[in-house]
Amino acid sequence: MGVRAAGTKTENGAEKPLKSRETDEALLARIARNDGAAVREMVGRKLPRILAVAVRILGDRVEAEDIAQETFIRIWRQAPRWESGRARFDTWLYGVALNLCRDRLRRRREVYTAEPPETVDPGPPPDRGLEDGDTIRTVEAALAMLPERQREALVLQYYEELSNTEAAAAMGVSIEALESLLARGRRNLRAFLENTDAHADTRD
């Protein structure tokens, strides 16, 4: 016999069905009406992923927190103007976070006259299934050395598990361009992890 999840009870004892999870668009509509509960729900729902993306792209937790905060400010500003069906909310959200990360990296390059050498990666999340802390740190260091666009492509597809279509849309590139970035990023990261003398392909 199947087990049915219990709902809440009405005053006469009848059972009400459990409330289904609200869509992102429904939350945005509530945020546009200054609903504090909707704000908290959106933060709880999206903050961990945005923070994870920013940390992996920037390699700095404090800067990543700044990016996450600015991303949510953009959400509050966009909420009253959001047009349902025009774009997938998560695609737009990743795009905002990526653009903010790019701006931060550009500011770094203005401070330091030269970028650090950009290199190296494998396919599926490089740290998936790995338990050795040193190995994971090595992979994260390698990821940080990749050219900006290669790093973005790998983070979105392998860590955030976006499809090629979703990742390409978030990055504002074609699927073919995304696949090229993924291939070069994997090749570069693999070269680093295998400690070879092969020259990394650092084209963005």
Question: What pLDDT, in 10s, does the model give residues 2-41?
Answer: 434 344 344 444 443 434 578 999 999 999 999 999 999 9
Instruction: Report if residue 96 sits inside a domain.
Output: yes
Determine how many CB atoms are found less than 10 A away from the CB of residue 119.
20
Domain of residue 70: give its range: 21-115
Contact 187, 179 (CB under 8 A): no
Tell whether 109 and 129 lie within a shared domain: no
| Length, in residues, of the chain | 204
132 burial type by CB count under 10 A (0-12 exposed, 13-18 middle, 19+ buried):
exposed
Question: How many domains does one find in the chain?
Answer: 2
Tell whether 111 and 128 lie within a shared domain: no
Tell whether 96 and 172 lie within a shared domain: no
Determine how many CB atoms are found less than 10 A away from the CB of residue 38.
19
Instruction: Report if residue 31 sits inside a domain.
Output: yes
Contact 124, 190 (CB under 8 A): no
pTM of the complete model: 0.69
Instruction: Report if residue 73 sits inside a domain.
Output: yes
Tell whether 135 and 85 lie within a shared domain: no
Q: State pLDDT tens for residues 165-195.
A: 999 999 999 999 999 999 999 999 888 877 6
Tell whether 127 and 108 lie within a shared domain: no
Instruction: Report if residue 102 sits inside a domain.
Output: yes
Instruction: Report if residue 8 sits inside a domain.
Output: no
d(CA 185, CA 119): 8
* CATH code for position 50: 1.10.1740.10
Q: State pLDDT tens for residues 66-77.
A: 999 999 999 999
Map tokens 């991303």 to a residue. Answer: 71
Tell whether 87 and 35 lie within a shared domain: yes
Q: What is the rounded average pLDDT for all residues in the chain?
A: 78
Instruction: Give ∠ CA 76-161-152 in degrees, rounded to 5.
Output: 70
